[in-house]
Amino acid sequence: MPHDTWRLLIDTAERGATNMARDEAIAAACGRGAAPPTLRLYRWRPACLSLGRFQRSAELDRAACARAGVEVVRRPSGGRALLHDDELTYAVVAPLDHPLLGAGSILESYRQISLALLAALRRLGADAALTPVGRERRVAGSAACFDAPAAYELTVDGRKLAGSAQTRREGAILQHGAIPLTPHADRLAALLLRPPADLGEKMIALDQAIGRAAGFDEVAGALTAGFGAAWGVAFEPGELADEERAIERRLRDEKYESESWTYAR
């Protein structure tokens, strides 16, 4: 029987600035004990390219993004560029010392979240595997997140299926990641000034991994069931509290919609 209850948020599509502000707002409230551990599943509209917290914006072709109608946002987490379009994005938020997430260990938290993602993806029929520690590939200077898997990230036939990034602040863990439902390697490469070679051979979309189309709702259901089974938790659908909404509005307006944040590096 489940021994813990988490809040489940399944959101409608939002702009990039709103999505990043909402993730950070949930983490800020959770770190203060004002919000429960949360699994948030969401999507983006319009398409958006997100930069890692410390990534140089000079790696991005801003003119190409404008021509393609792709917005740009900088994440609060690290990592490299992701194109968010026709995908499911997950966010896991919990106190830093939560026992399910390694009770403070960064590597163990990645492993536990990846095991839950693995359970979910296998429910959909993906023959996915975790990248073992010590076998992760690092591509020097690459601007694209899906160019190589990091420790415990998910691959199918050696090709990266889910890209994730984590940040820890104000007493909370925030890890979010993207599962592309359909291929977009060529579109991502066109938005970078120096795209990695053969990106389409290094990443894989869910429909390629399972041999059929899977929509957002089906994948969201599989993630909810997979996380629940892997962690022994129950998920209770919920909403943002007033405090979280207020933090989200402030962060969206003052931070994530500001070019001084997006192009600070």
If DSSP codes are grouped into helix, strand and coil, which group holds residue 48? strand
CB 210 within 8 A of CB 124: yes
Cis peptide bond upstream of 37, omega within 30? no
Residue 79 region by backbone torsions, left for phi larger than 0, else alpha for psi between -120 and 50, else beta = left
- Residue 48 falls in the annotated catalytic set: no
If DSSP codes are grouped into helix, strand and coil, which group holds residue 113? helix
CB 243 within 8 A of CB 34: yes
CB 233 within 8 A of CB 2: yes
CB within 8 Å of 28: residues ≥ 6 apart: 169, 170, 172, 247
* Max CA distance (Å), the chain: 53
Could you tell me the two tokens for 155? 């691959």
| Separation of alpha carbons 191 and 257, rounded Å | 20
Catalytic residues, which ones?
145
